[in-house]
Amino acid sequence: MGRWEPDARGRLERSALELYAERGFDQTTVAEIARRAGLTERTFFRHFADKREVLFHGSHALEELLVDAVAGAPDTAAPMDAIATALDVAGGMFEERREFARRRNAVVAAHAELRERELIKLASLAASLAGALRGRGVAEPAASLAAEAGIAVFKIAFERWAGDADGPDLPRLMRESLDELRAVTAGA
């Protein structure tokens, strides 16, 4: 055992989510988060670039997962089908963490600065997915457009999922939304 309690980063993440949910993002100081985690403010900023980032540590893992899904889709799959594979994986991942995902989303949705951070994470995800599509031989701008369309589907399906605890599961909402997008963009 080390000199300190283990998992400082995890303690900070949990303390931050609790406090943001209890009092709101603005009414929580970094010093309070650190104190609840048994650490100091300075240590918080060694683990997270800013007060928002503490809620977004998982986004990198999600990005890797989805990039792998796109890269691993059958060679014969069309670009949007590769994206659909990734959306399925994402839906499964969130469905496994229903409680946490919904609690975290409520906090993020309640504050504009946190929504901003969420949007730039999604933009980064779109860029990575576009890269994965290019790796499959898809040209620009088709790769970026397919990736952005996939993120649009993700956003809308996720929003509906988070807002209706008794509705369909997320993978299903993803598939329905993708079908809806195909319908609405069809035709000249």
Partner DNA sequence: GTCACGATGTCAGTGACTGTCATGCGGCTA
Partner DNA sequence: TAGCCGCATGACAGTCACTGACATCGTGAC
Distance CA 37, CA 18 (A): 11
Structure tokens at 42: 């300075």
Q: Which is nearer to DNA, 39 or 151 (CB)?
A: 39
Q: Which residues in the 46-75 window bind DNA by CB under 7 A?
A: 46-47, 49-52
Which helix (DSSP H) or strand (DSSP E) does residue 85 occupy? helix 79-96
Q: Which residues in the 29-48 window bind DNA by CB under 7 A?
A: 29-31, 34, 38-43, 45-47
Distance CA 141, CA 169 (A): 32
Q: Are 86 and 130 in contact (CB under 8 A)?
A: no
CA distances from 134 to 2, 8, 70, 140, 171 (A): 45, 38, 10, 8, 25
Q: Which is nearer to its own copies, 97 or 182 (CB)?
A: 182
CB of 139: closest distance to DNA in angstroms? Answer: 38
Q: Are 131 and 63 in contact (CB under 8 A)?
A: no
From the list its own copies, DNA, none, partner contacted by residue 177 (C-beta under 5 to 8 A by kind): its own copies
From the list its own copies, DNA, none, partner contacted by residue 119 (C-beta under 5 to 8 A by kind): its own copies
> Binding to DNA by residue 164, rule CB under 7 A?
no
Q: Are 157 and 177 in contact (CB under 8 A)?
A: yes
The interface mask with DNA, positions 10-29, x = CB under 7 A, is ------------------xx
Footprint of its own copies (CB under 8 A): 78-80, 112, 115-117, 119-120, 123, 141-142, 144-146, 148-149, 151-153, 155-156, 160, 177, 180-188
From the list DNA, its own copies, none, partner contacted by residue 66 (C-beta under 5 to 8 A by kind): none
What end-to-end distance do the CA atoms of the chain give, in Å?
65
From the list its own copies, DNA, none, partner contacted by residue 17 (C-beta under 5 to 8 A by kind): none
Distance CA 140, CA 131 (A): 10
Contact residues toward DNA (CB under 7 A) are 1-4, 8, 28-31, 34, 38-43, 45-47, 49-52
